[in-house]
Amino acid sequence: MPSASDLAAADVPAPDRARTALRVARVVGLLALVGAVLAFPGLAPDPFILSVGVVIMSYAVLATSWNFVGGFTGYISLGHASYAGLGGYATALLVLHTGLNPWVALLLGGAAVAAIAVPVGIASLRVRGASFVIVSLALVLILLLVFQSWSEVTGGSNGLRLPRPFGEDVPRPEQHARFFYLHGVLLAVALLCWWAIDRSRFGTGLKAIREDEDKAQALGVPTFRYKLIAFVLSALFTALGGGLYALWFGFLDPIFQFSILTGSYMVLMSLLGGLRSLFGPALGAVIVGYAMEYFKNEYGDTQIHLVALGLLLGAVVLFMPDGIIPALGSLVNRFRPRTTSIREVTQAELGERRAGDEQEVSR
């Protein structure tokens, strides 16, 4: 004889059960991901692996920050390293020249870069496509020349050294663990902000811009204002990521801080994981960051890691143009129970429902 729980489960349509199971799987997966992040510093076998984890987490922050522009509006910026570099230098200069607390300097540096991004966005977002890519590249090259030449303030090619924010008496492995968690917190804030925008009216307008900007403007979407807000948010999180990395690494060099490759890595990570998905850039950062660190460790200063990343990008474009997460989502959808607009109901079921409705009316 069937139990009450069996009867209750039988009353739930198969598509509803599938959606419920999918929600449960997402929650379980998210909890497992959070648990893995929290446990990583304790499970890392040596300080080098822990430092690689910090680098990968930093890439995840930068790629997710870039996705505020690329994922929502479809504007591809190859010069986002400019905001990461500005965030690093703003934090360092505030610490060195004003004596501010490093964490206060980090927040103020991020706010300063966001303020700088407003006029930059007003100027650059007036163009689209290849023109926008060129403008973004021009900005990072100009900043590279300025910070190399302005040696009295930035240290020029000699670089700029920062004191450790936790003090010199804290061991380096402990420094790695603390910065790993700090990057994790910043990544969580960026993901939460992206998730909230994705489900808001503002996010709907941004996605309309991505699909067809002219039609979105014709329908009344304030396209330029929406693009500018997304651009400034992206610059803010990118600057915070650059400043946090600078505090961890302890040394700033204009050639590294304003490298075109850094912006290219952000684009590659987002494309690999899934440009329009929440966790896509972070997943791409794990894959690309680990691959880069592996090739650098195995082959030293050779450029073989760039060859490997180029091949990886080609494979993604050919076989998974939407990224890994959307590809996996499409695969899962193939095995989901399909719903129809009209459910087939037997005559006996119709009779039972009609009798039940009549009883409810009579009561």
Task: List phi, psi (to 5°) of 320.
Answer: -140, 70
Distances (CA, A) of 121 to 34, 116, 215, 224, 326: 34, 9, 22, 10, 30
pLDDT of 31 reads 87
Residue 277 covered by a domain: no
In 3D space, the residue among 94, 97, 99, 134 whose CA is nearest the CA of residue 113 turns out to be 94
Distances (CA, A) of 1 to 10, 316, 341, 352: 14, 53, 33, 21
CB-CB contact of 67 with 267 (8 Å): no
User: Strand, coil or helix: what is 300?
Assistant: coil
CB-CB contact of 148 with 282 (8 Å): no
For every residue of 41-99, DSSP letters joined together read: HHH-SSHHHHHHHHHHHHHHHHHHHHHHHHHHH----S-THHHHHHHHHHHHHHHHHH-
Rounded to 5 degrees, what angle do the CA atoms 284, 263, 180 make? 55
What is the rounded CA–CA span in Å between residue 169 and residue 218?
Answer: 61
pLDDT of 324 reads 82
Residue 293 covered by a domain: no
Amino acid letter for position 35: G
Q: Which residue segment(s) compose the domain that 90 sits in? A: 47-259
Rounded to 5 degrees, what angle do the CA atoms 160, 164, 166 make? 160
Q: What is the residue-level pLDDT of the chain in tens, covering all 363 positions?
A: 445 545 444 455 555 666 777 677 778 888 888 888 889 888 888 888 999 999 999 999 999 999 999 999 999 999 899 999 999 999 999 999 988 999 999 999 999 999 999 999 999 999 988 899 999 999 999 999 999 998 888 888 888 998 888 877 888 889 999 999 999 999 999 999 999 999 999 999 999 999 999 999 999 999 999 999 999 999 999 999 999 999 999 899 999 899 988 988 999 899 888 888 889 999 999 998 888 888 888 877 677 877 877 787 788 778 777 788 887 777 666 666 555 444 444 555 556 656 655 555 455
Residue 77 covered by a domain: yes
What is the rounded CA–CA span in Å between residue 67 and residue 61?
Answer: 10
Q: Taking the model in full, what pTM does it have?
A: 0.85
Q: Name the token pair of 104.
A: 């206060």
| Residue 229 β-bridge partners | none
Alpha helices, DSSP H, located in the chain: 4-11, 14-43, 47-73, 81-98, 102-124, 129-149, 151-154, 172-198, 201-211, 213-218, 223-249, 254-257, 260-273, 280-299, 304-319, 324-334, 347-362
What is the rounded CA–CA span in Å between residue 261 and residue 70?
Answer: 17
pLDDT of 7 reads 43
pLDDT of 155 reads 87
Residue 79 covered by a domain: yes
Residue 216 covered by a domain: yes
Residue 273 covered by a domain: no
pLDDT of 9 reads 46
Question: Using alpha carbons only, how large is the chain's radius of gyration in Å?
Answer: 25
Residue 203 covered by a domain: yes
What is the rounded CA–CA span in Å between residue 300 and residue 187?
Answer: 29
Q: How many domains does the chain have?
A: 1
DSSP code of residue 252: E
User: Strand, coil or helix: what is 106?
Assistant: helix
Residue 346 covered by a domain: no
